[in-house]
Structure 1
């Protein structure tokens, strides 16, 4: 029942969401207390994560999820927990700590006053004082306060979305420690397309119709490249994941594995992020292995497709959605201003010529 409520958390009442949110936070911060995860993934935990601290079990399971002996029931519950981490920055402690400066710099407009301190206090009370009636009453009061404090259920998702868009923009410099966290978030979303909630929600119908039995993400990229994605929302999400792959080779598993040897040989001293290692590979494209050269060529074709403009609407949308839209606006205004000045300077000449011709005819 709890997992069902977590799946439909956006539709539950405010009071239920406040309780559910605390439970979700506890599940990802202290996964050792997550009964569903620890029971359904017990064999995997015993084999690979026995020596890990309880708070690191989720990360350990994620690293080992692709093992052949991973039970499907464990995989399903683990995917749900990873969805929580990837859909709400407030639950991802490492992301918040390492990206705080970049959030303040680039994503401040996504933040509203949403006090998480009450959650932390309530979590401690739930863990340590469940047997005490007075403390339970205090917790109920705090839960009521949580209900009032939770003003925006989507804020955490918007923060992650903002950071990912800045990461995909090679013109924006993020701190290295934040880039590491974002690569971790993006690589996690590659485990299953449903973990990338925005992409899955926007493209669900298309995936079920056109991408059965094949890699869902590659299928969507191919449809985008062939201009077969009619839904604008889905098209924008696919454009996003293509740009993320263009920003860093390590979030594109196929390209990364094919070019692993070449990265070590030619680009090992190049810092990750902002497409730097990718540009290094492109410069060395004639020297890399055939496997790397082949997939790199296909990716370059894909990247060219995201800059394709079909009409004025596409051009306007790209300018509006661009992180450098202020620059584009400035260029457009400058061009219009120059045209205006030229018109002002040339007007007297045209007027003089017209008057001269008029006098001749008379």
Structure 2
């Protein structure tokens, strides 16, 4: 654990927990997310015995507080020095248009962070920036109030469709899940766009979809434990397990995955890819990737055969004309 740069107390308290629950994770931020998610899932499922030891949970809380202190979820990225440093190359590269439109003294109201979140979903961010954005996405996925753009554009929908979830004392992602489930009922284009973005983010990293991750925690442990989190790897692992008839997923996990597939299919229809690179990314991250690729491959083969036949016919016609 020497590369994690944790405190000595944390290393001593959580060494066994990390080896048991997060064996293939190397980055500090991913270790915190892994352990925190395990604690959250056990709490939500009201298990009798937590998988993370009590001494580790205490030290984990210290690390979480320190990380929260470093990575404040400010709506204006300029007030977050850690994020600015980590994403100093990514912000001008991907969010230049937002910066040029904003005045020096204006509040960006989360626009830059929203921009970076989209690039996170596209798996285009640098490693350091990706780490910071992952934490922001995970925290806002649990509590909609930490997402200024979602609050701004979906306030009416939250009030009308998800009032009960929003009134809950403890936010564990229920408002976000409510908006996803009611996606077809959302009429406001900007709100619909925000919800579609949330779905896109969840395809990139199951950790930022707390409801799905809670439902599939056991299956991830059993079938995808060796898969490094992030960049859609564990989500792809679950999708492969879902398609494999030999694998029996937990009923709730299977249901949630099928729900997500329907949502992603709808999202792909109403939010088509803008360019070839986006189209390629959309195909490669699609739950129906194998089917789509097989159709594309079949189409290419058919075109090749047609071209081959046309070439032979052309040669024969040319030869006959010469013989005349």
**Taking structure 1 as the reference length, what is the TM-score of the superposition?**
0.50
1:7-59 deviations in Å (ceiling 9; x for gaps): xxxxxxxxxxxxxxxxxxxxxxxxxxxxxxxxxxxxxxxxx79x969xx8564
The 8 Å contact of residues 212 and 257 in structure 2, kept in 1 or not, is answered as yes
1:297 pairs with 258, 264, 285, which one?
258
Deviation at 1:161, TM superposition (A): 1.4
Deviation at 1:61, TM superposition (A): 8.4
Deviation at 1:250, TM superposition (A): 0.4
SS at match of 1:100: coil
Q: Which residue of 2 aligns with 1:166?
A: 119
CA distance in 2, matches of 1:90, 1:61: 15
The 8 Å contact of residues 154 and 191 in structure 2, kept in 1 or not, is answered as yes
Gaps of 5+ in 1: 1-47, 63-81, 115-148, 310-316, 328-362
CA distance in 2, matches of 1:321, 1:223: 28
The size of the alignment, in residue pairs, is 212
1:233-292 deviations in Å (ceiling 9; x for gaps): 111111111111121100011211222233233333434333222111111224253232
Alignment of 1:312-331 (within 5 A): 318=272, 324=278
CA distance in 2, matches of 1:101, 1:270: 28
Deviation at 1:228, TM superposition (A): 1.5
The 8 Å contact of residues 204 and 232 in structure 2, kept in 1 or not, is answered as yes
CA distance in 2, matches of 1:257, 1:57: 23
Q: Given the superposition, is the C-alpha separation of residues 202 and 218 from structure 1 closer, same or farther in structure 2, using an over 3 Å criterion?
A: same
CA distance in 1, matches of 2:82, 2:106: 21
Deviation at 1:196, TM superposition (A): 0.9
1:181-231 deviations in Å (ceiling 9; x for gaps): 11100111133212211111111112112212133222211221xx21111
Alignment of 1:103-252 (within 5 A): 103-112=91-100, 150-154=104-108, 157-169=110-122, 172-214=123-165, 215-224=174-183, 227-252=184-209
1:94-128 deviations in Å (ceiling 9; x for gaps): 222222232243233433599xxxxxxxxxxxxxx
The 8 Å contact of residues 167 and 273 in structure 1, kept in 2 or not, is answered as no
Answer with 1 or 2: which has the greater Rg: 1
The 8 Å contact of residues 249 and 256 in structure 1, kept in 2 or not, is answered as yes
Q: Given the superposition, is the C-alpha separation of residues 319 and 260 from structure 1 closer, same or farther in structure 2, using an over 3 Å criterion?
A: closer
The 8 Å contact of residues 267 and 277 in structure 1, kept in 2 or not, is answered as yes
Q: Note if 1:307 corresponds to 2:268.
A: yes
SS at match of 2:164: coil
Q: Which residue of 1 aligns with 2:30?
A: none
Gaps of 5+ in 2: 1-57, 166-173, 282-324
Q: Which residue of 2 aligns with 1:98?
A: 86
CA distance in 1, matches of 2:162, 2:115: 28
**Taking structure 2 as the reference length, what is the TM-score of the superposition?**
0.55
